[in-house]
Chain A
Amino acid sequence: MKKELLTIALGAMLTVGVTGTATAKVEGDTIILGSSISLTGKYATNGLHTQRGYDYAVDVINAAGGVKVGGKSYKLAVKYYDDESTPARGAQLAERLIQQDGVDYMLGPYSSGMVKAIAPVSEKFGVPMVEAEGASRSLFTQGYKYLFAVLSTSEQYLATAIDMAAASTSDPKSIRVALAFEGDPFSMDVRAGVLDKINEYGMKIVIDDQLPADLSDMSTTLTKTKALKPDILIVSGHSKGAATAARQIDEMKVNVPMIAMTHCEAAKVHEKFPNASTGFLCPTQWVETLSKSDPMFGSAAEWNTGFKTAYPSYTSVPYQSAQASAAVYVWKEAFEAANSFDKDTVRDAIAAVEMETFYGDIKFSENGNNIAKPMFMRQIGADSSYSLVEKFDDMTFPRNVKY
């Protein structure tokens, strides 16, 4: 009899113990999401944009009643660690989140490089991660089962610029292209997408320069550009590439009818070089004039106003924040669809997500990237404003620049 009691007691203790660890990620009525994010170091600015995007979404979702699982309402909360913009630290912190803090649901870090470092860890422990800031194509060719990204992948960034160049003439084969790309994984992906399009149209590449990582001077590439007079110039090298290019395009009075580059907004080329940047084509993951909406955040414009009210320091909101909010929203939908906290059930629910949001449509491919949302292209006008360009007729061509 005594022995039986002991067994029951032990069994009860074990059960409590097991559920104790199993529910570490759900404390009381709060679901804990974990994220290692760059709050210091070279990605600090964009890391902060991301964190605010997460925080804003959490606040809105909690204020609207939280997440309903099994007929009960749960609040969301995010546990952050600062990865100091170093991939090795990111991987360490991901392990700490999962193993020590018992986090079973992850939000992504900032940048493809960081996701690349963290994904193997979350994959090893079978912890689903919804990320919003890693666009590199190579993330989705590894066969990861627990990695999902709400944003468009990098090879789509500038491909539309080539489509537009092709539409500018009746003979796309006659178009001469100048390319200047940094050698990092992201820019190389962007380049691959551009090259596919160039080959598709049979255009001619006249300059194909690789920019160094510590880029502060690309005058030789631009000198060549002036001599060869291509029809379109395409640049990709993160914010520093955009800033350097805009500054030197201005200084060297480079007059190419079409110029497309990534990170115009992040580098604020429209503010710093209003003359030279007139007519630049800039890809973006999201625009606040997008005609998409959802019941949680409303329309894109409503999310935009809401975010600005929460963080009044922003004059224009970076898309990094918007996609971060969208990632949190995916978690809410997945929990509710799964109606469970089991991480594999939730993982399958994420994989099955198909929803319209203020950020655009979200539907994941087998590989985890979002295939429902296109990339958008905007052009900088003479008044330094950005306007959406959906087809060739929408844009000013050739760019009307006064040096």
Chain B
Amino acid sequence: MLDNLQLLFVWAPVINIQIILEGIFVGAVFALSAYGLALVWGVMNIKNLAQGDFVIMGGYMALALTSANVHLALTMAIVIVTMFIYGWVVYVVMIRRIIDQDMFVSLLATFGLSLLMQQVMNLIFGPEVQTIDMELPVYEAFDGMVTIPSSKIISLIMAAIIAVTVILFMKKSRTGQAIRATAQDARAARVLGIDTDRVYAFTFAFNAALCGAAGVLVSIIWVIQPFYGITYSVRTFAIVTAAGLGNLPGVISAGFGIGLFEKYTGMIMGTAYEVAAPVSILLLVLIWRQISMRRNRQVVK
């Protein structure tokens, strides 16, 4: 560990740049799926355990489309639309029935959905690790010590465009306003003429579309496998919990923060701890909240 610190700050400080860049790329993907989860959780109080599997599903769709020589931008559009429809269908078939039930029902139901999706993807695409290799140039800097593949730059730009669109959409459009109104008080929204069932359906479908977009990025910059969803689910839960519900810009910055934290942990403690990093943040946040909310807690007699 000491060696790694020395390496980072004394021998080859230039690799910090590489790690920061990797952290930003990771963060961009996390931010997208975490944003979706924050919406679903905040608006409908559904804790979607199939979040990561939506991401992987988007990845596999991108893989199938690009291997059929569809252009990447078009692939992204098709995946977003298809995932939106898929999300709507899942809502109508399943989520609508559990929305008023308690927390465990939503956890169990979405966990079941997660298992189902994993197995279906495994049947269709096989258990092998796959990736989209676009054979794009790789840029080098600092004597080859820092490498930036174009695929990652493209994915970062795509993530930025989607994030800006989503934020504008939530702020300006009527549907966005309806979603926010429902999140604040569903009953009041209903009284004022908002069709909350439709808002719920839209939110869930919107979340699926965002995850699908994140999945396209994952399949371009890393590798996908039918059972990898869980790592994305865990990370998005950590991010949303850390940032707090209803704090959507916070979710995006927490996404980047956790991305960076993960990469630095990996560098200093070893790659095995990378996956543990977001979970440890989750723990710290929960402990911190426990302490800071202590004085507000009262015993009900």
- Chain A interface (Cβ < 8 Å from any Cβ of B): 40-45, 85, 180, 183, 208-212, 214, 216-221, 223-224, 226-228, 239-240, 243-244, 247, 251-253, 255, 266-267, 272-273, 403
Contact = CB atoms under 8 A, between A and B. Distances in A.
A224 B264 CA distance: 12
A240 B19 contact: no
Contact of A252 (B122, B147, B224, B267): B147
Interface stretch (B169-177, B240-248, B268-276): B268-276
Given A224-B7, A253-B140, A244 B129 contact: yes
Contacts of A227: 7, 11-12, 15, 145
Interface in B57-103: none
Interface stretch (B31-39, B154-162, B227-235, B284-292): B227-235
A42 B11 contact: no
B270 A209 contact: yes
B267 A220 contact: yes
Interface in B209-239: 218, 222-228, 230-231
Nearest to B145: A226
Given A44-B126, A214-B275, A219 B22 contact: yes
Given A45-B126, A253-B144, A244 B133 contact: no
A387 B132 CA distance: 27
B47 interface: no
A44 B122 contact: yes
B192 to A, nearest CB: 45
A338 to B, nearest CB: 38
Interface string B113-139: 000000000110011111101000010
Nearest to B17: A223
Contact of A214 (B7, B128, B218, B231): B231
Contact of A44 (B127, B151, B230): B127
Contacts of A240: 129, 223, 225
B266 interface: yes
Contacts of A45: 126-128
A222 to B, nearest CB: 9
Contacts of B271: 180, 209-212, 218, 220-221
B180 interface: no
Contact of A223 (B18, B126, B127, B144): B18
B133 A272 contact: yes
Given A41-B122, A247-B133, 18 more contacts: A42-B227, A210-B271, A212-B274, A216-B223, A219-B22, A220-B22, A220-B274, A221-B271, A223-B15, A223-B19, A240-B223, A240-B225, A243-B128, A243-B130, A244-B222, A244-B223, A253-B144, A272-B133
5 contacts: A40-B122, A183-B272, A216-B223, A227-B12, A243-B130
A267 B26 contact: no
Contacts of A217: 22, 26, 222, 274
The 4 A-B pairs with the shortest beta carbon distances in the complex, nearest first, are A220-B266, A210-B272, A240-B129, A227-B12
A211 B272 contact: yes
